[in-house]
Amino acid sequence: MTASLRLMNPSTTSDWSEADIKRYAASNPRAGMEMVIKKYREPLYFHARYIVKDHQEAYDVVQEVFIKAMREQRLFNDEFKIKAWLFRVTSNLCFNQVRNRKRRGAILDTMMKPEAFGADQIETIFAGEQRNEVMAALGKLSEDHKEILILRYYDDLSYSEIADVLQVKLGTVMSRLSRARVRLLDVVQDSELDN
Amino acid sequence: MDCTTVSSRVAAFLDGEMDAGECERFVLHIEGCDPCTRLVAKLEAQRFAPLSGEEKVAICGRVEFWGDMDSVLDTHMDQMVLAKTACLGPWYSRRIGLPVPMIAAYAAAMVLAVVWGLQQQDRAATAELTTEHLGQQLEQERRLAAQPAPIPEQGKTAYKVVNYTPERGTF
């Protein structure tokens, strides 16, 4: 990252609104892009990390998302929703990654095998007992349900932001989220019965 | 409100995303419906355990965490700024969505097409005029050919009338 961005105080990144970034990008697109990266790389990393359940894969996905963002002509257009677009692309790339992994037959569910990563500080933080149980149950849900639950309860997006990411109506967000929670409840109850 | 609606709005109710009127109807229903009350209670007890702010800082608060990504993205940004493409290009390129040389080539092609079109129009007009003129000439000649030659009046001839005498040979 350039010196200008390094000098920016990281605590201020959340204060930058999309409108501020676009205004800044109008005169200096590169600085605008750097602001986008600085503001969204962390939430995107955790979003990806919850889906792919692997640090390196999540890291690579986020990097790819920003490269795609640089190639996106409309990124700094007034009506363009940067956050929603970034989360949507991240979700798509993550689910592609998971599908490819399954197709290759190398299913590596790190959340279900925390002991394999016990030494790693990152994996240790992710490997809380309760977190593991819920994540294991999330893994059994459909992509739609899993995505909406992660967006709401892990990435802390509002309902309208989720509607923008998924490109659906607010009512659809409400009903899909409710169905996903009910389904998750069933999965948890089933696994408790199995144990 | 019925049980189906309650099950499709329960998340919004628990997250406080329901408007006041709907919330009132929701509460009114679950107060008189045991299965719905149980469902709401079960979902209320669900815990998702996301990472806390401190845990997130512990993971990616270190400067070196983003080091690799920064260097890769820096290189990409440099290349794209130099190439003046995508969102890192100048405003006209971002608005139109094409790189400058392509826009210039397109504009030049458009100008050439207009000039060529005007030239062709000019040529066509000239050719039309010529054809019309030639047509008129031909018509005139045809009319003249169809008319009998005028008989010159006596005494006003511009030529001399001589008698033909074969002995004299040529004139």
Q: Looking at the structure, do residues A94 and A166 belong to the same domain, yes or no?
A: no
- This complex has an ipTM of 0.75
Q: Looking at the structure, do residues A23 and A64 belong to the same domain, yes or no?
A: yes
- CB pair distance less than 8 Å for A153 and B17: no
Q: What is the pLDDT of residues A34-61, one digit of tens each?
A: 888 888 998 999 999 989 888 888 999 9
Q: Please state at what angle helix A159-166 crosses helix A170-194, rounded to 10 degrees.
A: 90
Q: What is the pLDDT of residues A75-89, one digit of tens each?
A: 888 889 999 999 999
Q: What is the pLDDT of residue A108?
A: 53
Q: Does any domain span residue A43?
A: yes
- CB pair distance less than 8 Å for A134 and B48: yes
Q: What is the pLDDT of residue A3?
A: 47
Q: Looking at the structure, do residues A55 and A151 belong to the same domain, yes or no?
A: no
Q: Looking at the structure, do residues A85 and A145 belong to the same domain, yes or no?
A: no
Output the average pLDDT for chain A. 81
Distance from CA of B37 to the nearest CA of A (A): 13
Q: Looking at the structure, do residues A66 and A151 belong to the same domain, yes or no?
A: no
Q: What is the pLDDT of residues B72-121, one digit of tens each?
A: 888 888 877 766 666 666 666 666 666 678 888 999 999 999 999 999 99
Q: What is the pLDDT of residue A106?
A: 57
Q: Does any domain span residue A67?
A: yes
Q: Looking at the structure, do residues A103 and A176 belong to the same domain, yes or no?
A: no
Q: Looking at the structure, do residues A74 and A153 belong to the same domain, yes or no?
A: no
Instruction: Count CB-CB contacts under 10 A for residue A165.
Output: 25
- CB pair distance less than 8 Å for A154 and B48: yes
Q: Looking at the structure, do residues A47 and A92 belong to the same domain, yes or no?
A: yes
Please give the C-alpha separations between residue B132 and each of B119, B143, B145, in angstroms, as whole numbers. 20, 16, 20
Q: Looking at the structure, do residues A102 and A144 belong to the same domain, yes or no?
A: no
* Domain limit, last residue, from A89, A108, A127: A108
State both tokens at A136.
């294991």
Q: What is the pLDDT of residues A123-179, one digit of tens each?
A: 666 666 566 777 888 888 999 999 999 999 999 999 999 999 999 999 999 999 999
Q: How many domains in chain A? A: 2
Q: Best residue in A7, A50, A174 to probe B by mutation, most B CBs within 10 Å?
A: A174
CATH code: domain of residue A153: 1.10.10.10
Q: What is the pLDDT of residue B71?
A: 85
Q: What is the pLDDT of residue A163?
A: 95
CATH code: domain of residue A43: 1.10.1740
Nearest CA-CA partner of A98 in A63, A146, A133, A130: A146
Q: Best residue in B10, B73, B93, B100 to probe A by mutation, most A CBs within 10 Å?
A: B73
Q: Looking at the structure, do residues A93 and A5 belong to the same domain, yes or no?
A: yes
**Residue-number span of the structural domain to which A64 is assigned:** 1-108
Q: How far apart are CA B93 and CA B97, in angstroms?
A: 5
Q: Does any domain span residue A176?
A: yes
Q: Looking at the structure, do residues A103 and A161 belong to the same domain, yes or no?
A: no
Q: Are A101 and A56 in contact (CB under 8 A)?
A: no
Q: Does any domain span residue A192?
A: yes
User: Which alpha helices (H) appear in A14-116, and where do they start and end?
Assistant: 18-27, 29-52, 55-71, 82-104
Q: Does any domain span residue A74?
A: yes
Q: Does any domain span residue A98?
A: yes
- CB pair distance less than 8 Å for B86 and A1: no
Q: How far apart are CA B53 and CA A46, in angstroms?
A: 12
Q: Looking at the structure, do residues A91 and A148 belong to the same domain, yes or no?
A: no
Nearest CA-CA partner of B35 in B68, B77, B59, B4: B4
Phi, psi of A8 (to 5 degrees): -70, 140
Q: Does any domain span residue A42?
A: yes
State both tokens at A87.
């989360």
Q: Does any domain span residue A122?
A: no
Q: Which residue has the higher pLDDT, A183 or A108?
A: A183
All residues at 6 or more sequence positions from A161 whose CB lies less than 8 Å from its CB, including other chains = A83, A84, A151
